[in-house]
Amino acid sequence: MKKDISKSLIMAPMPVLIIGTYDENGIPNAMNAAWGVQSDYEQITIFLGKHKTTDNLQINNGFTVAFATKETMIASDYFGMETGARINKIEKAGITATKSKHVNAPVFEEYPVTIECEIADMVEETDGYRLVGQVVNVIADEKVLDAKGNIDLGKMNILCYDSASHSYREIGNIVGQAFHAGLAIKNK
Ligand SMILES: Cc1cc2nc3c(=O)[nH]c(=O)nc-3n(C[C@H](O)[C@H](O)[C@H](O)COP(=O)(O)O)c2cc1C
């Protein structure tokens, strides 16, 4: 039997995105964001409160978005617990930041896949911002690519955020092919 369980919303799965920015002195910062989504073929939209990251985004047009993995889980969670306004989180977490070749933002070496973005829009809302990023490039470690050079999620232990239990989960196995599995009914 189904039950009403209040308005406490869960959306599943949510990503675990690590947004990389520079401050006015070129100090790299990283924050964790789960409220992000692909909003066009080459655009992503992320919903942000007011943070050191959003201060940095007022100064620099570029930012990076890396996918958290099982291997980077502890640093990724830490990036969501402390503000870069107070401390250099990258240094404290022992993460290696290098400058992106395409945008004015840091790339974190320990993360296998990173989206490099320029700000397409940053709309101030009541309690934060809606950040729209135009994708300029995607970089990936060779070890997470398949034979055709495409990203293989099965090779990168990518995490998702479970907002029901406030935990990180690994994504699971492929169970079917999109735009194909439904043919079993469509073609009946
Ligand atoms: C799992 C997780 C998900 C988060 N998702 C978001 C989010 O989508 N938007 C947001 O504004 N803050 C989010 N946060 C909180 C920020 O990451 C946090 O406030 C962080 O300290 C901001 O860092 P900064 O001040 O260095 O930019 C999340 C934190 C965690 C741990």
Is residue 111 situated within a structural domain? yes
- Ligand 1: distance of its center to the CA of 141 in Å? 25
Give the model's pLDDT for residue 10.
Answer: 92
Mutate to test the pocket of ligand 1, among 19, 51, 64 (most ligand atoms within 8 A of CB): 51
Mean pLDDT of the chain: 97
Tell me the pLDDT tens digit for each residue of 144-155. Answer: 999 999 999 999
Is residue 154 situated within a structural domain? yes
Q: Does the CB atom of residue 35 touch ligand 1 within 6 A?
A: yes
Q: How far is CA 51 from the centre of its chain?
A: 16
Is residue 50 situated within a structural domain? yes
Is residue 5 situated within a structural domain? no
Q: How many domains does the chain have?
A: 1
- Ligand 1: distance of its center to the CA of 179 in Å? 34
pLDDT band at 7 (very low <50, low <70, confident <90, very high): confident
Q: Write out the residue range of the structural domain in which residue 180 sits.
A: 14-186
Query: Which pTM value belongs to this model?
Result: 0.98
| Environment class of 134 (CB within 10 Å of its CB; exposed 0-12, middle 13-18, buried 19+) | middle
Which CATH number characterizes residue 143's domain? 2.30.110.10
Tell me the pLDDT tens digit for each residue of 23-47. Answer: 999 999 999 999 999 999 999 999 9
Q: Does the CB atom of residue 30 touch ligand 1 within 6 A?
A: no
Is residue 9 situated within a structural domain? no
Mutate to test the pocket of ligand 1, among 21, 32, 89, 165 (most ligand atoms within 8 A of CB): 32
Is residue 150 situated within a structural domain? yes
User: Dihedral angle at the C-alpha atoms of 176, 179, 183, 185, nearest 10 degrees?
Assistant: 80
Question: Nearest CA to 111 among 48, 60, 55, 159?
Answer: 159
Give the model's pLDDT for residue 8.
Answer: 86
Is residue 2 situated within a structural domain? no
